[in-house]
Chains A and B, each alone.
Chain A
Amino acid sequence: MTQAHHPLIIAFVCNWCTYTAADLAGTSRLAYPENIRLIRVMCTGMVDPQYIIKAFLEGADMVLVSGCHPGDCHYINGNYKARRRIKLLKEILPRIGIEKERLKLTWIGASDGIQFSKTMQELVVQAKKLGPNPVNTQSVR
Chain B
Amino acid sequence: MNEQTTYNALVVGAGISGIRAALDLAQENRRVLIVDKRPAMGGILSQLDFQFPSNHCGMCKMLPLVRRDQGSQFCLRKGLFHENIDLVLSAELSGLSGEPGNFAVKIHEKPTWVDPDRCVGCGLCETVCPETVPDDFNRGLSTHKAIYLPVPHAIPNPYVIDLAACTRCGACADICPTGAVMLSTAERQNFHILVVDDELSVRDSLKEWLTEEGFSAHMAASGEEALEKLKTRPCQLMLTDIKMPEMSGTALLHEAKKAYPNLCVVMMTAYATVETAVEAMKTGAADYLIKPFQPDTLIPMVIRLYQDIEAAHDRELTVEALILATGTGFYHPADEKNIFGYGIFPNVVTNLEFERIISHTGPHGGGLKRLDNGRPIQKIAWIQCVGSRDIQNNADFCSTICCMAAVKEAVLTKTLAAGRSAEASTSQSTGHSTEQATGQVETVIFYMDMRAWGKSFQRYVDNAITEHQVRFERCRVHSLSQTKDTRELEVAFLADDGSRRTALFDMVVLSVGQRPADQTESLSKICDLPLTPAGFFETLPFAGSRTPREGIVAAGSAAGLKDISESVMLASAAAREAGQIIHTKTISEKRPAQTTEDTETPLYRDVSREPVRLFIGICTCGTRLSACIQPDALTQWFSLDPEIVKISFVDQVCTASGWEKLAREISGTRANRVLIAACHPYVFIKKITRLARTLGIAPDLMDVADIMGPVFRAAAQAPETLSAFAAEVFSTLNQGAERLKQADPTAPDQVPVCQRALVIGAGIAGMTAALALADAGHEVDLIEKTHQPGGNLNWLDQTLEGASLADFLQKTLDRIQKQPRITVHTTTRLIACKGLAGQFHSTIEICPETGAETKQVRDLEHGAIIVATGGHEAPTTSFCHGTHPAVITQKTLEIRLRNQEITPEQAGTVVMILCVDSRQEPRNYCSRVCCPTALKQARRLQDLNPDAAIYVLYRDMMTVGFSETYFTRARGDNVMFMAYDPKAPPRVSAETDTPVVTLKEPVLNQPVEISADLVVLATGMVPDLPHDLARVLGIDKDNDGFFQEAESKWRPLDALKEGIFACGTVLSPRSAAEAADTGRAAATRAIRLLSAPAIASDKTVAVVRHSLCSLCERCIDACPYGARTLNSDHTRILVNTLMCQGCGACAAVCPNDASILPGLSARQMLETVDAVFEQLEPDRM
Contact surface of A with B, Cβ cutoff 8 Å: 6, 8, 10, 15-17, 19-20, 23-24, 26-29, 34-35, 37, 39, 41-43, 45-48, 50-51, 54-55, 58-60, 68-69, 71-72, 74-78, 81, 85, 109-115, 122, 125
Contact = CB atoms under 8 A, between A and B. Distances in A.
Interface string B1003-1027: 0000000000000000000000000
Interface string B114-132: 0000000101001000000
A58 B731 CA distance: 14
In the A-B complex, the 8 residue pairs with the closest CB atoms: A46-B1144, A75-B1143, A72-B56, A20-B75, A76-B1120, A34-B724, A71-B54, A114-B365
B1162 interface: yes
A109 B49 CA distance: 9
Contacts of A6: 724
B155 A23 contact: yes
B639 interface: no
B1165 interface: yes
Interface string B34-78: 000000000000000100001111101100000000000111011
B1160 A42 contact: yes
B1141 interface: yes
23 contacts: A6-B724, A15-B73, A16-B74, A27-B121, A27-B149, A27-B157, A35-B724, A39-B735, A39-B1168, A42-B1144, A45-B1143, A45-B1145, A51-B1169, A59-B1173, A60-B1173, A72-B58, A75-B1120, A81-B1149, A111-B359, A111-B361, A112-B360, A114-B361, A115-B366
Interface in B102-161: 121, 123, 126, 149, 152-153, 155, 157
Contact of B1145 (A10, A29, A43, A58): A43
Contact of B1144 (A10, A34, A45, A69): A45
Contacts, number: 157
Contact of B153 (A20, A35, A37, A48): A20
Contact of B57 (A10, A39, A51, A110): A110
B390 interface: no
A49 B49 CA distance: 31
B1100 interface: yes
Given A34-B728, A45-B1144, A113 B60 contact: no
Nearest to B365: A114
B713 interface: yes
A20 B1173 CA distance: 24
Contact of A16 (B60, B1056, B1100): B60
B360 A114 contact: yes
A50 B307 CA distance: 57
B306 interface: no
B74 A20 contact: yes
A10 B359 contact: no
A54 B155 contact: no
A51 B724 contact: no
Given A27-B153, A42-B1142, A111-B77, 19 more contacts: A16-B74, A16-B75, A28-B361, A34-B721, A35-B724, A39-B735, A42-B73, A43-B1143, A58-B1173, A60-B1173, A71-B54, A72-B56, A75-B1120, A78-B1120, A110-B75, A110-B77, A110-B153, A111-B57, A111-B361
A72 B54 contact: yes
Contacts of B149: 27
Nearest to A59: B1173
Contacts of A109: 49, 56-57, 360
B597 interface: no
Nearest to B48: A111
B1157 interface: yes
Contact of A48 (B57, B1165, B1170): B1165
A129 to B, nearest CB: 10
Contacts of A77: 1120
Contacts of A85: 1148
B1147 interface: yes
A15 B1157 CA distance: 15
Contacts of B78: 20, 23, 110
Interface in B1148-1178: 1148-1149, 1157, 1160, 1162, 1165-1166, 1168-1170, 1172-1173
B430 interface: yes
Interface string B723-767: 011011001000100000000000000000000000000000000
Contacts of A59: 1173
A64 B1149 CA distance: 19
A27 B155 contact: yes
A66 B98 CA distance: 53
Contacts of B56: 68-69, 71-72, 109
